[in-house]
């Protein structure tokens, strides 16, 4: 039995213990006693864990809420006691069945973060700086690549009852899909997000070109999972503060035009928190609209059902 536990954040405990055994069922006994069923073995996993059967590679389920339980293998059944074999002929049977071993099953646990928004970008683009600017999360920020080695989550609280979760993941570089840099292993954390924020350094100190950098990340995404490219993705043109005032609008407009970018984009400075909040408000509006559309679709489905029943009644 796997149980989601919000107090756990990682699967590291499973490095040490890899085999879990539920109890074997007890044998059946005399005196009208059946053997007890084997006790379930409870495995605590972080919220967001997906359990996959290794043999079939089939997902057995997602544990997405604290306390949610998933039966991944059955414990041993108890044996039946002699009373089950009693008949009019044999009133004191000496028979009972043995208890059984439980299922043995090889499983793979995969932890996927439950974030609404995923940050994406080259190392040093300013992803961690952004999440620090807009949430209470405090991932390390430094001027060398691969400062972030593990994903971090930050909650962006817009109003008391409106918030969304952003995942900061390690930077990607060209060739990540083939394992360069920290590789692309972290992209799986983006699989459940609804919106990607692609952070780009719009004022690179070397001669790299922001447009090229966006294209490079897109190519990695496509290689990893083309569906990620279909996901809504907005641009955060970061480090605006490094661009002289009079060039800002023009520089941003040129990048957007060169990319042929049609989705929303924002020129921001994560370091001095310029326009970072505007971007977050837009993200919240995106989720509000998404929720409204979902609710309307659900309401329309109900209407249709009523209409269908109405027709039946009329016929
Ligand atoms: N001037 C300026 N510097 C910034 C801004 N945002 C980030 N930086 C700097 O850029 C460097 C990298 O920032 P990080 O937030 O660590 O970048 P990251 O994208 O998380 O990098 P990795 O974790 O290595 O992938 C740090 O030195 C930051 O201080 C910004 O808006 N303006
Ligand atoms: Mg970082």
CATH code of 153's domain: 3.40.50.300
For the segment 250-275, what is each residue's pLDDT rounded down to a tens digit?
Answer: 999 999 999 999 999 999 999 999 99
CATH number of the domain where residue 26 is located: 2.70.210.12
Average pLDDT over residues 103-115: 79
- The residue to mutate among 126, 137, 199, having the most atoms of ligand 1 within 8 angstroms of its beta carbon, is 126
Is residue 33 packed enough to be buried (19+ CB in 10 Å), middle (13-18) or exposed (0-12)?
middle
Largest CA distance in the chain: 103
Q: What is the mean pLDDT of the chain?
A: 84
- Structural domain harbouring 222: 117-293
Helical axes 276-314 vs 127-134, angle rounded to 10°: 80
Q: How many CA atoms lie within 13 A of 184 on its CB side?
A: 18
CA proximity to 238, closest of 280, 281, 260, 271: 271
This prediction has a pTM of: 0.69
For ligand 2, the distance from its centroid to the CA atom of residue 140, given in whole angstroms, is: 7
Average pLDDT over residues 213-236: 90
For the segment 137-160, what is each residue's pLDDT rounded down to a tens digit?
Answer: 888 887 877 777 777 888 899 988
CA proximity to 203, closest of 248, 168, 265: 248
- Inside any domain, residue 215: yes
Distance of CA 129 to the CA centre of its chain: 22
Q: Is 135 in the pocket of ligand 1 (CB under 6 A)?
A: no
Structural domain count, the chain? 2
The answer to whether the CB of 25 falls within 8 A of the CB of 93 is no
Residues 64 and 164 in one domain: no
Tokens of 20: 């879990």
119 CA closest ligand 1 atom index: 19
C-alpha to C-alpha distance for 20 and 236, rounded to whole angstroms:
46
Residues 84 and 134 in one domain: no
The answer to whether the CB of 153 falls within 8 A of the CB of 132 is no
Residue 170 has pLDDT above 70, yes or no: yes
- So what's the pLDDT on residue 158? 92
- Inside any domain, residue 298: no
Residues 89 and 136 in one domain: no
C-alpha to C-alpha distance for 172 and 9, rounded to whole angstroms:
23
Residues 148 and 73 in one domain: no
Q: How many CB atoms lie within 10 A of CB 300?
A: 10
Average pLDDT over residues 190-216: 92
The answer to which of 118-122, 123-127, 185-189 has the lowest mean pLDDT is 185-189
For ligand 1, the distance from its centroid to the CA atom of residue 276, given in whole angstroms, is: 14
Residue 315 has pLDDT above 50, yes or no: no
C-alpha to C-alpha distance for 200 and 180, rounded to whole angstroms:
19
Residues 87 and 131 in one domain: no
Measured by CA distance, the residue closest to atom 5 of ligand 1 is: 271
Residues 287 and 141 in one domain: yes
- So what's the pLDDT on residue 182? 64
């Amino acid at each position: 039995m796997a149980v989601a536990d919000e107090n756990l954040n990682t699967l590291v405990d499973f490095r040490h213990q890899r085999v879990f055994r539920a109890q074997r069922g007890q044998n059946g006994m005399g005196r009208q006693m059946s053997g007890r069923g084997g006790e379930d073995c409870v495995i605590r996993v972080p919220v967001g864990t997906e359990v996959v059967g290794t043999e079939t590679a089939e997902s057995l389920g997602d544990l997405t809420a604290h306390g949610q339980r998933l039966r991944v293998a059955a414990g041993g059944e108890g044996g039946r006691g002699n009373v089950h074999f009693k008949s009019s002929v044999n009133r004191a049977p000496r028979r009972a069945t043995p208890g059984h071993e439980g299922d043995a099953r090889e499983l793979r646990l995969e932890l996927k973060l439950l974030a609404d928004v995923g940050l994406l970008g080259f190392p040093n683009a300013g992803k961690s700086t952004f999440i620090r600017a807009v949430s209470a999360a405090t991932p390390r920020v430094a001027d060398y690549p691969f400062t972030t080695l593990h994903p971090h989550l930050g909650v962006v609280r817009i109003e008391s009852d409106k918030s969304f979760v952003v995942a900061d993941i390690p930077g990607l570089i060209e060739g990540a899909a083939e394992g360069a840099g920290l590789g692309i292993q972290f992209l799986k954390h983006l699989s459940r997000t609804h919106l990607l924020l692609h952070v780009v350094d719009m004022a690179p100190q070397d001669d790299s070109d922001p447009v090229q950098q966006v294209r490079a990340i897109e190519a990695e995404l496509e290689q990893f999972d083309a569906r990620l490219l279909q996901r809504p993705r907005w641009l955060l043109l970061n480090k605006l503060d490094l661009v002289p005032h009079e060039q800002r609008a023009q520089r941003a407009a040129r990048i957007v035009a060169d990319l042929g970018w049609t989705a929303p984009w924002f020129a921001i400075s994560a370091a001095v928190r310029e326009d970072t909040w505007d971007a977050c408000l837009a993200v919240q509006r995106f989720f509000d609209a998404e929720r409204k559309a979902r609710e309307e679709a659900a309401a329309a489905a109900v209407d249709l059902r009523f209409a269908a029943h109405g027709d039946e009644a009329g016929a």
